Structure 1
Amino acid sequence: MSHVSTLDFSAFCSKDPGRQQSFCQQFTAALQQHGFVKLINHAVPAEGIAKIFEFSKQFFEMDQAAKAVAAHPTTAIPHRGYSFVGQEKTSILAPGEGKPSVDCKESFDMGSPYSRIFPNTWPADCDMPHFRPEIESFYQTCQDFHHTLLRALALGLQLDAHTFDSLVDGNDHELRLLHYPAVPKKELMNGQKTRIAPHTDFGVLTLLFQDDVGGLQVMDQQTGLYSVVDGSHPIMLVNVGDSLQRWTNNHLRAVLHQVTAPSQSPSGTDSPIFTKERFSVAFFGKPNRACSLHPLPQLLLDGECSQYPDITAGEYQDSRIHGTY
C-alpha cells in the first residue's frame, strides 16, 4: 500500500490566498514526511505527456545501430544521449542496499538545448524527424513547472517565494526517457537483475511520469520498508533530491526508491514468464553547477550546525555519477 500523499495543484493556482497557502503547507509537509508526493491537475499538459511517451516508444523501438547514433559519450559527466541495457550501474549509488545487480533498462538523456559545455546528442533526423523539437519543448515545460514548484516549496518553508530562483536558473537540468524491456520474472524475483536499483536522485526536485505497468517502490523513512507507488501519467510524482536535502540540512530528505517486478500487472496484459516492458519519463531539476550545496543559512535552526561541507553542485554530482558507467 502506498504511503505517498496526493495533492491537487490547482489549489496553488487559485486566486484564493487561503487555498494557495494550504497547498504550500501540505506540499512541504508531504515531502518532509515521505520525500515523495503525487500531483494531479498540475501545469504540464496531459497531451504533451502522452506525446512524449509516444516519441519515447518510437525511439526505443529502433534498432541498436539507429539508437547508437545518439550514444552516451565516453565520459559519464553528465548524462547525455542513449545508454544501452546494463550500461549504467545504479546499484553503486546506494552501498549496503544489497548485492550489485544489473539494471534492466535503457535510457535517453538530454540537458539544456543551449549548453555549450555539455551538448546534447540526437538520433538521425531521417529516423526521427520530429524527435528533437518535441523533446526540447517538453524539457522547457518541465523546467518552468519545476521553478513554480520551488516557489510553492519556499512558501511552505516560510521563506520568500523566490529563495531558490537564483540557485536553479542556470538551466543545468536533465530530462530522461526510460525503457525497461520485458524481462523473465524469475530473474527479478531472485535478485539476479533489477529494473533500477535502490538510489536517490542528485538534484533538487524530480518530476516523474510513468505508465500503468507498475514496479516503482519508495522506502518509508520511518520503517525502512519499501511500498509500491502507483499512478500513471498524467499524474506527476515529485520527489526530493540530494541537493535539496543538503540545502535544507536534512529537514527535507531524498529517499531511496527502486523499480522492480510489479506486484500485479494491468488486467489482461500479464505473462506467467515475463514482466511486461515499462516506460517512464523523468525531469531532474538540478542546481546551477557552480552554486554551493552548503545548507542555506535561513533554513538552519538556532544553534543548528551544518551537516554538510561546502561543495558545488557540479562537484557533488560528478562524484556521485563517477563509476556508474
Structure 2
Amino acid sequence: MGSIEDSTSEVAIPVIDISGYLAGDPTATAACAAELRAACENQGFLQVIGHSVPESTQKKFLDAIAKFFALPLEEKEKLSQTNSPCYRGYERVGGQKLDELDDNATTDQKEGFSVRPERPLGRFLAGPNQWPEDSVLPGFQEAYMEYFWAVHSLSKAMFQLMALSLGLDRTYFDYFASDPNGICLCRAHHYPPTPPDAAGRTRGVGAHTDFGALTLLLQDTVGGLEVLHKRTGTWHPVPPIAGAYVCNIGDLMERWTNNRYRSTMHRVISLLSRTDRYSCAFFNDGALDMIVEALPGCVPEGESPAYEPLRVEEHIVKRYVQSYGAGGTYIEQKA
C-alpha cells in the first residue's frame, strides 16, 4: 500500500494515569473516562499507568518467560500448540501471519506461549493448558497464572471505564468482561535478535488490527511496536514506559461502538538488534454467545447502524482461521 509510509515525526500516544479511578475518586474517574474517550475516538491506542498489576508480578512473569524461551527447541516443541485441541501452548517462529496490508509479507518472526483459563474441552478455544514439567522450569506455571489473573482483573476495570467513557452504566460490559467461556488469552512473545540481512525486510508482527474488544500489552524496553496514524498514513513508535500497559481496542469494540471508537492498525518492526525482545498481550475477547450490535448512543439520529448484529464466536473463529492459516497452522472449526 504505497500511501503508507514510515515517519520520524512523532505522533503522541496518550498516557493515562488510572490510579485515581481505581481508588474510587469521582473527579479522577470522570477525567479518566474523558481521556479514554478522546484516545479511542482518535488514535485507538493509549498507555495506562497507575494500574493495579504489581511490579513484582510483572518482573516475576517476564523472568519466567525469558527462561522458557531459552529452553532448547525440542523441549518447547513438547508443548507445541499443534498438540493441543484448543490451541494453547508453544507457537513456533512463523506459525502465524497477521499482516493485512501485504500479501507477500513474511510470516511473523516471533515465538509465543499461549494460556487461557482452564476449561473442559468442548467450545471453541476451551480446554486445558499445556505446561512444562516443574523439573524443567520450576515455578513457571505459578508465575504465569499469577500474572494472568492480575491482568484479567485490570481488564475488567478497563471495561468499566470504557462503559463510563461511552456514557453507559459502569457495569454495562461486566458479563462480557468476566469471560464466562474462558477464552481470554494471555500470550507471551519472544522476538529473537534480528540479523543485518533481515532488518527492515521482515516483521516481528505484521500490520494488523486486533480481533476482539480490548488488548493490554506489557512490553520490555527494546521497542519496535508501531501504530498507523490514519489521517497521515504514517507509522509511529509506541515508546516503552516501564511497567505501563499499551491499551488498544479491537475490531469487536469498533463494531460495537458503530465506528465511534477506532481499532487501529499496528505492527512490530524487526529492528536491527542483538537483543531479545519480550512482550505479553492479554486479549479479553469476552463471551462467545454475546451478540454485538450498536451500543446506545453510538448511532446518530436518523441513521442506521453500520453493521448487522454479530455473534462473538462467529467473529473470533473466522479471524483465528484466517491468521493462523496464513502461517500454515490449521485451526479446526468446531460446531
Deviation at 1:174, TM superposition (A): 0.3
Q: Which residue of the partner structure matches residue 82 of structure 1?
A: 90
CA distance in 2, matches of 1:250, 1:30: 14
Map of 2:75 onto structure 1: 66
Count of residue correspondences: 309
TM-score of the two chains, using structure 1 as the length reference:
0.89
- Match of residue 321 from structure 1: 320
TM-score under structure 2 length normalisation: 0.87
Distance 1:176 1:247 in 2: 24
Contact 2:222/2:240 (<8 A) preserved: no
**Aligned counterpart, 1:177:** 188
User: Conserved in 1, the CA contact under 8 Å of 2:57 and 2:146?
Assistant: no
Determine which of 166, 169, 175 is the counterpart of 2:175.
166
Q: Cα deviations across residues 110-158 of structure 1 (Å, max 9, x unaligned)? A: 1112454322122222212311122122111111111111111111111
Q: CA deviation at 1:242?
A: 1.1
| Contact 1:185–1:275 (CA under 8 A) maintained in structure 2 | no
**Distance change (3 Å), C-alpha of 1:284 and 1:276:** same
Structure 1 residue 309: deviation in Å? 2.6
Percent identity between matched residues is 28
Change (3 A) 1:115 1:200: farther
The 8 Å contact of residues 290 and 312 in structure 2, kept in 1 or not, is answered as yes
Aligned to 2:226: 217
1:108 paired with 2:113, answer yes
- Seen in structure 2, the aligned counterparts of structure 1 residues 230 and 309 have a Cα distance that, compared at 3 Å, is same
Shift of the 304–139 alpha-carbon distance from structure 1 to 2, 3 Å rule, reads farther
Residue by residue over 1:171-217, the C-alpha shift from the partner in whole angstroms, topping out at 9 and shown as x without a partner, is 3210000000012133132x2x2111001111111010111111110
| Aligned-pair Cα RMSD in Å | 1.9
Q: Which residue of 2 aligns with 1:265?
A: none
Specify the alignment match of 1:29 in structure 2: 38
Encode CA deviations 1:60-112: one digit per residue, 9 max, x unaligned: 0001121112110368x864110111111222xx1x34632121100000111
Q: Secondary structure at the match of 2:175?
A: helix
Distance change (3 Å), C-alpha of 1:14 and 1:136: closer
Q: Which of 173, 188, 198 is the equivalent residue of 1:187?
A: 198
Are 1:57 and 2:62 an aligned pair? no
Contiguous gaps of at least 5 residues in structure 2: 1-9, 330-335
Separation in 1, partners of 2:317, 2:114: 16
Give the 3-state SS of the residue equivalent to 1:186 in structure 2: coil
Q: Does the CA-based 8 Å contact 1:248-1:295 persist in structure 2?
A: yes
CA distance in 2, matches of 1:89, 1:244: 22
Runs of 4 or more off by more than 4 Å in structure 1?
none
Offset at residue 311 of structure 1 (A):
2.4
- The residue number in structure 2 matching 1:266 is none
**Are the counterparts in 2 of residues 3 and 34 from structure 1 also a CA contact under 8 Å?**
no
Distance 1:21 1:115 in 2: 41
How far apart are the structure 2 equivalents of 1:68 and 1:261? Answer: 24
Structure 1 portions without partners, runs of 5+? 263-272
Q: Tell whether 2:242 aligns with 1:233.
A: yes
Counterpart amino acid of residue 151 in structure 1: Q
